[in-house]
Amino acid sequence: MDIVDELVLNNTELFINEDHAYQLGLLAAKIAFYNFEWRFMTLIMFNTVHAIGLQTFLMNYSQSVVVKLGKFVPKHRVAVPQFVIFGEEANDISKTIRWLVKAKYDSNAKFVIICASHTEECDEQKIFQTLLSTFVVNAIVLKTSNFEPKAYSYKIVSPNSCLNSIPYSVDLISDCHNDKCFVGLFPERLTNFYRCRLIMSTVEQPPFMYLHNGTRPPSGTDGDLMKLAADMLNATLVLKTPSDTNDWGHYSNNNWTGSLGEIYNGRVHASVCTAPLSSNKYGNFQISFTYNSMDMVWAAKLPPEKPPWEKLLHPLKFQVRIILLFTFIGVIFLNTLKETNMWRKVRRAFRMGPSKYNLLFYSWLLFLGMPIQRIPAKRSFRFAIYVWVWSCFIVRSAYQATLINSLKHSDYLDNLETFGEALSYGFPFGGLSSIRDYYYQDPDIYDHWIHMDLEQLYNTLDKILDGTTDFVMASNKEIIKYHLMKYNGTKQLQIIPEKIVNSPTVVYFKKFSPLTAPLSYVLRVAFEAGFVQRCNERYLHRGKDLFRRDRVQRPEPLTLYHFAGCFAVLIIGWLLSAIYFAVEYICGNLKEEE
């Protein structure tokens, strides 16, 4: 028994004693004190009751902590951005790190790892290999070596290796001046990629991303922005398209498809697909700094054209129509008033002779601009005729000036104001499944949504422009506008004013990706420097002029359809004249028989 005790004592003296344990706990407490955020809780994990340095750490670190013995997931937990792990062996600590990542704890958090044992020296190389495989980049490992406490950290990307697990020593002394050696121990690790690859998933999506079939660097608002980000991070930008479906992607069969599926399954570092942000994406992915916004809208074919005869009234607004109507009613009333006793008294008072001509007929002649042979002799009545001629000239000239343009252009019924109107008409609807997530609480829309990928979206958009389908399509407003630009204003559609959502534009990462912070910093700098706005002006705002008709386009000739309303009025006039002639003829014959 004495021999065994002596062996244990010798081992203790060889690897660690109480003073060493105190030093490790004190170093860990100071690292946490100067580098952790006090407003958040710190999770302390250990697997043995007698964890070396734990008691010292708790005595010297007075901020909020949660002490956790063993591996179990609590029923209610909060986000934890800082961890302290106590272990005796490298393998034991590696298992704890893998369990934390598998249990969906924040792998991008700050880790302080104390590896100490009474029987053997800790192999820090194994721990850093585990940190590399789980992409935990912010970690400091404390151990004892040659009776002294040692601290190690590592850079996941180094000039010599794009995936580096070789640790370097951190100079820490418990009594350094003002504890300056403990400040800033967790710098941003991925500010320099040393020309290593930054792999992003994307899709061809003008005006946001032009891939040019890989023949030249990408362009577009997102393409230029990602090139800038890669240059600022000293990375080699690699863009890949999804291997399954050529679209943003959606959740299906317990997995994600498309560009988002590439991140979810660990094949790329980030996704630049300009997909609208939803609660489902926010819960499954990490997002970058919001550097832009986009409108999701409904697009439908133009409403039916108005009847051709309405084009004759199109130059006149409703108020003008009412004024002209009452004007001619007043002329008819005066023409009828001539045959009354009241008018005879007026004629005697003004010493006027009986009128031999139809007032209504001559008023209509003057309105049409035709000459009359006689005018009243009295100056007052002559002035009234002149005023009527002047007013008729103004109205007729203005009407004729706008009539030709009205006949040549199509005039449509009222556009759809809300998507509810499209539902009431029974129109089919759908779009990319990412937009469908916004209607998960509306089963009438969610359950009847017709899914399509980007290629189907463009084909459907062409059918809407041709007016061959009643389909109402949900899409990004800028994508619709740029597709319309191909036709240079010759084809049109209607965009329902009621937006689906105004979504922030972000880059998507895998949950707790270490790339989120450096790329968000670059996007924030680009936004504050005006680079994002410059890209918008270059690719988005310049498209407004392309919606106008091409001025060098040949004038459109007038056809019979344009004059359908005119011929309709002419035929109606002939019919009324024929009816009036027939009535007059029949009534005349009846008088002769009497």
pLDDT at 368: 67
pLDDT in tens, 122-140: 889 999 999 999 999 999 9
Mean pLDDT lowest among 42-46, 145-149, 156-160: 145-149
Average of per-residue pLDDT across 416-445: 90
Mean pLDDT lowest among 11-20, 358-367, 428-437: 11-20
Average of per-residue pLDDT across 55-60: 92
Q: How far apart are CA 143 and CA 212, in angstroms?
A: 53
* Exposure class string for 387-426: b at 16+ Cβ within 10 A, else e: ebeeebeebeeeeeeebeebbeeeeeeeebeebebbeeee
pLDDT at 411: 72
User: What residues form DSSP beta bridges with 142?
Assistant: 114, 151
379 vs 79 pLDDT, higher one: 79
pLDDT at 541: 62
Mean pLDDT lowest among 124-138, 154-168, 488-502, 560-574: 560-574
Give yes or no for a contact between 296 and 503, defined as CB atoms under 8 angstroms apart: yes
With a cut of 80, say whether residue 7 has pLDDT above it.
Answer: no
Give yes or no for a contact between 110 and 145, defined as CB atoms under 8 angstroms apart: no
Mean pLDDT lowest among 65-79, 167-181, 251-265: 65-79
Q: How far apart are CA 407 and CA 399, in angstroms?
A: 12
What the block records as the tokens of 565 is 């309303």
Q: Which residue has the tokens 């700094």?
A: 289
214 vs 276 pLDDT, higher one: 276
Amino acid 508 reads Y
Burial degree of 64 (CB within 10 A; 0-12, 13-18, 19+): exposed
DSSP letters, 276-334, are PP-HHHHHHEEE----EEEEEEEEEPPPPBPPGGGGGTTTS-HHHHHHHHHHHHHHHHH
Average pLDDT of the chain is 83
Average of per-residue pLDDT across 85-106: 92
